[in-house]
Structure 1
Amino acid sequence: MISVAALLDYYRGAHPSWEGVSVTDVVDMTSGWETELYGFTLEYSEGSLLVSKRLVARLYPGRHAAGKAEKEFTVMGRLGEAGYPVPGVHEVETHADALGLPFMIMDWIEGHSMMDDFLGTPIEELGPHLEAFTRLFADLHRVDPALIFPESPRFEDTSGYLEMALERTARGLDEMGPPWLRPVLDWLGEHRNGVSPGRFSVLHRDFHPGNIMARPDGSHAVIDWGASSLGDPREDLMWTVLLASAFWGRPFGETILEAYQRAAGEEVRDAGFFEVAAIYRRIQDTSISFMRGAEEAGMRAGAVEQMKESLGHLHSVHGFLEERTGIRLPEFDELLGRV
């Protein structure tokens, strides 16, 4: 838990022209695997201007924390400038001196998580919520990538990108393991040439209802951009479809896929290939966390315990892998049986 004193010291040092600085109502909002979140109220005066803001501090633990903080701050700022709905961002610090970890400060969004609208609602009654969710998703994939990642290489389509991405994935497997995932990577390599080209897009890489805030006026803000990158939008989509299928059942995932196609105005081709890529990512991320600890996987302390509470979805993910590829990973079964 961050302290009021630490926040006060930070603001007084970062903004010496502010007077009467106060920090109140600090609340722990942490719920996900990767970062710590704290809400607070900041008040100060600057000249004749009196300011009161409800804000959120997002703290980054684990490997590459400083880079993640700076990247997310930059990406969210550029997305906001491009007209995509994200919270406003205000401060970023890549060192741990002030609050104990690198951090970013952004606007508090009044409202509720879209997850509240999805949980417990039958698929056939999701209507407007599903439409809003997939519209936001499709709109993201229409944002000009050059506005968000101007320093990244450009691709006409995702053919060359897929080859590069698989090479990067192979290096990641050699570095981080687990080696028994090699058959899945080999399957992806063998089937890559049959994948139709897609357009190069901005990816969120963890787009789910829990990362969308719904305001009382019906507008939305998308949060959690730490993993964002460029790539094929089918990567993004099938990660979301995979998680929905694993947690809520295949019909739910298929419903999201169908709604996204309507929102995007085009058919999603080669969905199976990108689902296998998403399965690979989920199995690798969770396996590294179980075997080597949350920090090694770039997650916060306590994330592994949260993962253990949702082992059922990992058994489902493994089953989807076998359905798609015929591959079963005994080592993963053994790992899930031990944790």
Structure 2
Amino acid sequence: MADHDGTGGVRPLTLAWVGRHLDIGERVVKTEALHGGITAEMRRVTVGRRDGGTRDLVLRTFVDAAHAEDSLNRERGALALLAGTGVPAPGLVAVDHRAVHCEYPSLLMTHLAGRTVLEDAGVEARVPLLARQLVAIHAVRPAPAERPPQYVTLTTADTVVTPKGADAATWAAAVDVIRGPAPPYEGRFLHRDFHPGNLLFDMPPPGPAALRITGIVDWAAASWGPADLDVAHCCTNLALLHDPAWGVRFAEVYEEAGGVPAAASSERLYWQVRDALAFSEEVQQVSLSWRGAGRTELTARIVGERLDAYVTSLMDAPG
């Protein structure tokens, strides 16, 4: 989705900065606000070329600069690292992470073709693609100096919000899982926000059989940490977006695709539960975002019920 606003939606200093990173003879002819961004403003920037054609870029602007520098540095590093790897990420054009040239911290990158696909129909065909793509991300092996910062988790046992009507004993047991220290892990390059809303798809005729991922966006949380953390995050998103069973299934499909999760089931459970409980603090925000993307039936109540069912399934699983 996009709102067309000419070039008036981009602030003057930022527009001038964008212009300095275009090719000779190019100019910005139109910008569009892209919906779906939570932590930053996202705009498609249409650039007029000398030959009369156009090309598109994407501008990310952090009006709230509280975490802008860290986020932009993570994204800059990730995009530079992924160039030439085969992982379909945007190309880095320019970054002003301290707002030296722009009104606010900003990053300019290439625009990727495709669209997000969030509907329930066809999820069984998309899940294997997601799993294979996540395996490819985790296969990237940066040199130590190129690794992104260590992962962070903000949820604690004291910040978890038990959904209304949930079984208190089950949730108390789940909270106990994350009270202890994190299990040991082998570090991997992580997207850290890998879920259907950050993937772009192309589905040309004749239909789902031709479905392919054309892009992975929003690398502002790129991290170094356990592969299970990325897997768990996608599991929770699939559970809330489609059905709790898909959350459980994605972990299996990831392993079938060649992914290497933690060896012990207790260690895998730790990361799955930790990510699921983190969503307990964001049910309203998550449901609002998905409704804005067209899933109007996903009210906070329904998302909360699915989260409860997913947590319960994790705690009831054998092993």
Using structure 1 for the length normalisation, give the TM-score.
0.68
CA distance in structure 1 between the aligned counterparts of 2:41 and 2:140, rounded to whole angstroms = 28
Deviation for aligned residue 1:275: 1.4
Deviation for aligned residue 1:180: 7.5
| Counterpart pick for 1:276 among 270, 273, 278 | 273
| Counterpart pick for 2:76 among 69, 73, 96 | 73
Alignment pair present for 1:133 and 2:120: no
Would the alpha carbon gap of residues 50 and 88 (structure 1) be closer, same or farther in structure 2, given more than 3 Å must change? farther
CA distance in structure 2 between the aligned counterparts of 1:246 and 1:179, rounded to whole angstroms = 17
Match of 1:157 in 2: none
| Counterpart pick for 1:3 among 2, 7, 10 | 10
Deviation for aligned residue 1:234: 0.9
* Pairing of 1:119-130 with structure 2 (within 5 A): 119-123=119-123, 126-127=124-125, 129-130=126-127
CA distance in structure 1 between the aligned counterparts of 2:313 and 2:181, rounded to whole angstroms = 16
The answer on whether the counterparts of 1:44 and 1:50 sit within 8 Å (CA) in structure 2 is yes
Would the alpha carbon gap of residues 98 and 28 (structure 1) be closer, same or farther in structure 2, given more than 3 Å must change? farther
| Counterpart pick for 1:112 among 95, 111, 115 | 115
Long gaps (5+) in structure 1? 154-164, 327-339
Deviations 1:201-228 (A, max 9, x none): 1111221122112346945221111111
Deviations 1:126-164 (A, max 9, x none): 33x3332211011111111436844768xxxxxxxxxxx
* Pairing of 1:159-308 with structure 2 (within 5 A): 169=153, 178=159, 186-190=176-180, 198-215=185-202, 218=212, 220-264=214-258, 269-270=264-265, 271-284=268-281, 286=282
Aligned with 1:139: secondary structure? helix
Deviation for aligned residue 1:104: 0.9
CA distance in structure 1 between the aligned counterparts of 2:63 and 2:160, rounded to whole angstroms = 26
CA distance in structure 2 between the aligned counterparts of 1:219 and 1:120, rounded to whole angstroms = 17
The answer on whether the counterparts of 1:36 and 1:59 sit within 8 Å (CA) in structure 2 is yes
Match of 1:36 in 2: 41
Would the alpha carbon gap of residues 281 and 318 (structure 1) be closer, same or farther in structure 2, given more than 3 Å must change? same
- Percent of residue pairs bearing the same amino acid type: 19
Alignment pair present for 1:26 and 2:36: no
The answer on whether the counterparts of 1:87 and 1:223 sit within 8 Å (CA) in structure 2 is yes
Aligned residues: 284
Alignment pair present for 1:87 and 2:77: no
Deviation for aligned residue 1:59: 1.6
CA distance in structure 1 between the aligned counterparts of 2:14 and 2:149, rounded to whole angstroms = 35
Deviation for aligned residue 1:277: 0.9
| Counterpart pick for 1:60 among 47, 57, 62 | 62
Using structure 2 for the length normalisation, give the TM-score.
0.71
Aligned with 1:84: secondary structure? coil
CA distance in structure 1 between the aligned counterparts of 2:290 and 2:63, rounded to whole angstroms = 14
CA distance in structure 2 between the aligned counterparts of 1:251 and 1:304, rounded to whole angstroms = 19
Deviations 1:239-275 (A, max 9, x none): 1111211221122223322221111265765232221
- Quick check: 63-72 or 141-150, which moved more? 141-150
Deviations 1:26-52 (A, max 9, x none): 11112132222111222466xxx9995
CA distance in structure 1 between the aligned counterparts of 2:200 and 2:279, rounded to whole angstroms = 24
RMSD of aligned C-alpha atoms?
4.0
Deviation for aligned residue 1:75: 1.2
CA distance in structure 2 between the aligned counterparts of 1:323 and 1:130, rounded to whole angstroms = 19
CA distance in structure 2 between the aligned counterparts of 1:53 and 1:147, rounded to whole angstroms = 35
Paired amino acid for 1:240: C
The answer on whether the counterparts of 1:26 and 1:40 sit within 8 Å (CA) in structure 2 is yes
Aligned with 1:121: secondary structure? coil
Long gaps (5+) in structure 2? 163-171, 205-209
Deviation for aligned residue 1:92: 0.7
Deviations 1:156-188 (A, max 9, x none): xxxxxxxxx7xx758x759xx74879x766532
CA distance in structure 2 between the aligned counterparts of 1:246 and 1:101, rounded to whole angstroms = 34
Match of 1:333 in 2: none
Larger fraction in helix: 1
Alignment pair present for 1:316 and 2:306: yes
Paired amino acid for 1:93: D
Deviation for aligned residue 1:10: 2.0
